[in-house]
Amino acid sequence: MKTFNFKTALILVCCFSLFSIACKKATSDVNVTDEVQASVQSDDDEMFQSETETVDDDITNSLSSSARFCGAGNVFVGGNFLPPDVDTSNPGNIANRMVFTFNGTVHGCRKRTGTITVDLLYANKWIEPGATLRIKFTNFKVEDVCRNRSITINGERLNTNVNGGNLFRLSINQISMLRHRIRTGTIGIEATFTDSSGSKTAVWNVAKNKTATFTVNPNKYNFEVSGDTTINGKVNTAAWGTTRFGKSYQTVYTSSVKSNTHCKVWRPTSGLVAHTVGAQTVQVVYGLNAQGNPVGPGDCATHFKVYWTNNNTSVTNSRLVAYR
């Protein structure tokens, strides 16, 4: 069983040429327009989601190979399912705790440091329905060393195993689907972005529903993520909080985001996400080919598209971006 990573390709803080000047002074100019703020928030959100989803991948891979958390006979065996930049430990020998320590090993342009502490709540084993992981980020920092930018995350989120089981049971057809419900606490998670404009902190609240299925031919896991609450009358809200500019935002999954390990999970095959700051909304469309058209069933996407309409000029702008 090979490990897989929840990665997306949208780590593009201040990448829009239209907004390059505004991004350079984003941390000092509180009068940045809603259009710029929504665009930057879209990029910040994708960086935040990419790195926290990657951590979820590391955690679920590790727990799915841990007899202590899942019980004998319910785990992958015969391999290390963690990347080389993370080590696990159990300080104090607390039965339902696992600590992930990131050692700073650089892979390509990516460097991770800090710790994440995982505690199992409301169950004896992770495979039980209703079992919940409390995931605490402590100075968890991901650096893009090639572009001199980073994100640092502090706070807690909860991941509830709604129907029970784990990836191992899914792969051998003992269960037909995994469903996880992801929530943050009442104060959300702080994410500090550092780039050429300086450092600024945003706040994330998250409410998502994630399902996983397994297909034998081709051998792949299929994932689908949707928003899981209603705020300001908008259903399918997945995130809300305060941007790096100190302004309220809301992220809605207009249609669920789908991906799979056959096409690489950080390259979604479909989905539509809307990021709103003030009166401005920026849309992200996943699952496109090099011509900007949706890929067919079973095909792998190579691009995504970001577009928005300026509320003052009614001019629509867009950018087609290749997945990494």
Q: Is residue 110 part of a domain?
A: yes
Q: Which structure tokens are listed for 251? A: 């992220």
The closest of 113, 135, 126, 6 to 65, measured between CA atoms, is 126
Q: Which structure tokens are listed for 71? A: 């019980």
Contacts of 52 (CB under 8 A, 6+ apart): 153, 157
Give per-residue pLDDT as tens, 77-89: 876 678 899 999 9
Q: How many domains does the chain have?
A: 1
Return the number of other C-beta atoms located less than 10 Å from residue 71's C-beta.
15
The closest of 218, 315, 306, 263 to 7, measured between CA atoms, is 263
pLDDT reported for residue 313: 84
For residues 29-52, b (16+ Cβ closer than 10 Å) or e, as one string? eeebbbbbbbbbbbbbbbbbbbbb
Q: How many helices (H) and strands (E) does the chain have?
A: 4, 16
Please give the distance of CA 170 from its chain centroid, rounded to a whole number. Answer: 22
Q: Is residue 280 part of a domain?
A: yes
Give every residue of the chain whose pLDDT is below 50, as ranges.
1-30
One-letter identity of residue 281: T
pLDDT reported for residue 45: 87
pLDDT reported for residue 121: 96
- Which helix (H) or strand (E) segment is 47 a member of? helix 34-63
Q: What is the DSSP string of 248-310?
A: EEEEEEEEEEEEESSS-TTS-SEEEEEEEETTEEEEEEEEE-TTSPBPPTTPPP-EEEEEEE-
Bond from prior residue into 84 cis (ω within 30 degrees of 0)? no
Q: Is residue 287 part of a domain?
A: yes
Question: What is the C-alpha to C-alpha distance for residues 188 and 181, in angstroms, rounded to an integer?
Answer: 16
Q: What is the DSSP string of 60-109?
A: HHHHTT-HHHH-TTSS--SS--S-TTEEEE-GGG-TTEEEEEEEEEEETT
- Domain span at 85: 17-322
User: Which ranges constitute the DSSP H helices of 129-197?
Assistant: 167-171
pLDDT reported for residue 79: 65
pLDDT reported for residue 324: 67
Give per-residue pLDDT as tens, 238-278: 999 999 999 999 999 999 999 988 898 778 999 999 999 98
Calculate the alpha carbon distances from 72 to 77, 82, 125, 141, 205 in Å: 10, 19, 11, 34, 36
Q: Is residue 30 part of a domain?
A: yes
pLDDT reported for residue 26: 40
